[in-house]
Structure 1
Amino acid sequence: MSATLHRIDAGPAPSLDPMLRLVAHDMNAVNSVILDRMQSDVPLIPELAGHLIAGGGKRMRPMLTLACARLLDYPGTRHHKLAAAVEFIHTATLLHDDVVDGSDLRRGRRTANIIWGNPASVLVGDFLFSRSFELMVEDGSLKVLRILSNASAVIAEGEVNQLTAQRQVETSEERYLEIIGAKTAALFAAACRIAAVVAERPEAEELALDAYGRNLGIAFQLVDDAIDYSSDEATMGKGVGDDFRDGKVTLPVILAHARGPAADKAFWRDAMMGHRISDADLRHATGLLNSTGAIEDTLERARHYGQRAIDALGGFGASAAKAALTEAVAFAVARAY
């Protein structure tokens, strides 16, 4: 184990506080843009959007845009609107995801689709997507527009790919990594990369920040997959075992199914088809995940991608921004412990 990887697993509990402090001033400006651009003459739009935007999320993706801009010593303000665009893309996908998943809780609060219904959630999600593209166009950079619009398309492809893989317990690990690389990591990557574009830095630095964000996003999702079976609602911001009851074939399930005897494989098939969703079934599933090492191996893969994210920053000089970005990786992984 390398010295850097060891920092992910040991020492004081990592936190997002260094990043929060680093970008606090810029984040105030981003929040102002968000509040301004979610307004509409149709009262339901700001009401519904505000419910989710004010719902206690960490706003990690726009913070990454701001922190990467600080890493590059960017002196301007273009990244404020673009970070808001990133948050709108993320919020729109959450609204749509909750409808697709039939979720009733997010970050401990009732989801918008439960309060206002599925049609309103989908349409307000569309509104936020449109606002994000307005902000990109206002920035005026075709390169930024290309990066963020491509990320939006890739996210949608990832969600459709996941939908077609739902309840398919034989899904391969390779396909699953492809799905989360699209639905989760693509926006992390784009959020980081656009900072290098506005700072007019060489393509090598763009690609380095893209790699940082992409690997961080994969690590982040893999930890989410693991803690769905091993954490609590306060930590996760959603119900414990939601993935299990929704028939979501995540990496822990893929690994446990592949490693188990015929009886266990039959259990996983029944569970993912929605026939074994009681609390007792969830406890049995968690036992199988632990006995096959599926949870720990999922977290080991998360640490691997976290290390790749940290390595991607290797070409940048030491700074408070680099330290904060490095600790953000450690925080993403440490959520599972």
Structure 2
Amino acid sequence: MLFSRGFSRLPKATFNRCSKWLLSHHRHPHPQDHHHRHRHFVLSPTHRVLGCRETYSWGSPFLSGVRHQIHQESSSLAEEQLDPFSLVADELSLLADRLRSMVVAEVPKLASAAEYFFKMGVEGKRFRPTVLLLMATALNVPLPRPALAEVPETLSTELRTRQQCIAEITEMIHVASLLHDDVLDDAETRRGIGSLNIMMGNKVAVLAGDFLLSRACVALASLKNTEVVSLLATVVEHLVTGETMQMTSTSEQRVSMEYYLQKTYYKTASLISNSCKAIALLAGQTAEVSMLAFEYGKNLGLAFQLIDDVLDFTGTSASLGKGSLSDIRHGIITAPILFAIEEFPQLDAVVKRGLDNPADIDLALDYLGKSRGIQRTRELAMKHANLAAEAIDSLPESVDEDVLRSRRALIDLTHRVITRTK
């Protein structure tokens, strides 16, 4: 397991628990880990405190280490400023059009509900499809096979179409989970607009989510790949498991970092990690390469959620598209509070009371403000971003400029996840 010197200030017990969880959840149904090449990248967070908000500069030696290798192979490419989303913009546009056509239903109200977050202007940045399309190109390396003529263009096009299908399926599963989560959380807004459950009622929102899952299953079956079907079916199981863990946790589980990380993997990271692996499997990649794709998705997903947990305390309602302090007001305990408990054990009793009393929420926030909980959560997110970048760096070497450009974009996304403000 790779740890940067930037995390030396974290208590050893915390890291032991985190690393133990990451290593022990190798086999299904737990998150998988993989032993691959270790390179000592250093993330150097510096910060200044603004009330409870902390801002960080991104120390990028690990990025420059990866880019140095790319620079040796193509200096002009290494100097190029990349926008990961622009690299796949044309494909994302086609994908968005197909998604809107896929959710057409015979019942007008159901169709209107199902396409609610696929409409122009509220469809988001399509983060997950972007990752998957970039991963598809990043894995476009020669496969071990007998010396034959180049793969016919028709086969190459067919593979890309199948990988695009994975991106579409992943987005439908993601949006379905958002619809169901909003019902469970009684959310009033999503992506800056009224949530579907508020606009059309809980029953229609649940049915719309179910409809999207059914369309995703139909598309998944069309791929006729048993292993890929199994992977994404497991994702749906994990989403349900994670949500159930959150709803039924005991007071002891609520203050367990191990429990929190496992739940976070199920609810957030399983979808992108298994989808990345599916991209690799469709391309006929080896088990080792497929696992590297999985590792990238897993660690990117965990980093994403950890920063989300930070922003729930430091962000504003305008920038997040949801109310600040949403999680703690729903009694959901996340990493910043868990780290604060380690520094102030008396907070444990406050959290175990359930945080139903507004005075207890204020007390918890007061302890959080005095602790390094926000900073330590960012540092843990940086560690996972580091591991995601290392997975890309460990992929088989290539001199193809499109492959290298996509790999650099995937690494750039780890930076964007850590530094995002919404």
TM-score by length of 2: 0.73
Alignment partners' CA distance in 1, 2:337 and 2:94 = 42
Per-residue deviation at 1:267?
A: 3.9
Residues 77-86 or 286-295, more deviating:
286-295
1:313 aligned counterpart, secondary structure:
helix
1:304 aligned counterpart, secondary structure:
helix
Counterpart of 2:100 in structure 1 is 35
For 1:307, which of 374, 383, 386 is the aligned residue?
Answer: 386
Amino acid at match of 2:134: A
Alignment partners' CA distance in 1, 2:87 and 2:44 = 24
Amino acid at match of 2:264: I
Greater share of helix: 1
- Structure 2 residue ranges without an equivalent (≥5): 6-39, 46-56, 64-80, 141-155, 399-403
2:293 aligned counterpart, secondary structure:
helix
Q: Which has the larger radius of gyration?
A: 2
Per-residue deviation at 1:166?
A: 7.7
Counterpart of 2:124 in structure 1 is 57
Counterpart of 1:189 in structure 2 is 273
Counterpart of 2:147 in structure 1 is none
2:104 aligned counterpart, secondary structure:
coil
For 1:9, which of 58, 83, 101 is the aligned residue?
Answer: 58
Counterpart of 1:78 in structure 2 is 162
Amino acid at match of 2:356: G
Q: In the superposition, relative to structure 1, how do residues 197 and 245 fare at CA in structure 2: closer, same or farther (>3 Å)? A: same
Corresponding position: 1:325 with 2:374: no
Contact 1:188–1:213 at 8 Å: present in 2 too?
A: yes
Residues 223-232 or 286-295, more deviating:
286-295
Counterpart of 1:275 in structure 2 is 357
Contact 1:107–1:237 at 8 Å: present in 2 too?
A: yes
Per-residue Cα deviation, 1:257-298 (whole angstroms, up to 9, x for no partner): 343253x4444345x432117xxx766543421311111111
Counterpart mapping for 1:1-337 below 5 A: 1=5, 3=41, 5-6=43-44, 9-10=58-59, 18-54=83-119, 55-73=122-140, 75=157, 76-165=160-249, 170-262=254-346, 264-270=347-353, 272-276=354-358, 285-316=364-395, 317=397, 319-335=404-420
Contact 1:310–1:326 at 8 Å: present in 2 too?
A: yes
Alignment partners' CA distance in 2, 1:274 and 1:9 = 37
Per-residue deviation at 1:233?
A: 2.1
Q: In the superposition, relative to structure 1, how do residues 170 and 195 fare at CA in structure 2: closer, same or farther (>3 Å)? A: closer
Alignment partners' CA distance in 1, 2:123 and 2:95 = 16
Alignment partners' CA distance in 2, 1:266 and 1:160 = 23
Per-residue Cα deviation, 1:52-71 (whole angstroms, up to 9, x for no partner): 23324221112111111011
Per-residue deviation at 1:122?
A: 0.7
Contact 1:61–1:187 at 8 Å: present in 2 too?
A: no
Alignment partners' CA distance in 1, 2:345 and 2:130 = 45
Per-residue deviation at 1:198?
A: 1.7
Q: In the superposition, relative to structure 1, how do residues 268 and 169 fare at CA in structure 2: closer, same or farther (>3 Å)? A: farther
Contact 1:159–1:183 at 8 Å: present in 2 too?
A: yes
- Structure 1 residue ranges without an equivalent (≥5): none
TM-score by length of 1: 0.90
Alignment partners' CA distance in 1, 2:219 and 2:253 = 40
Contact 1:167–1:249 at 8 Å: present in 2 too?
A: no
Identity value in percent: 29
2:88 aligned counterpart, secondary structure:
helix
Q: In the superposition, relative to structure 1, how do residues 140 and 213 fare at CA in structure 2: closer, same or farther (>3 Å)? A: same
Residues 308-317 or 1-10, more deviating:
1-10
Alignment partners' CA distance in 2, 1:261 and 1:216 = 30
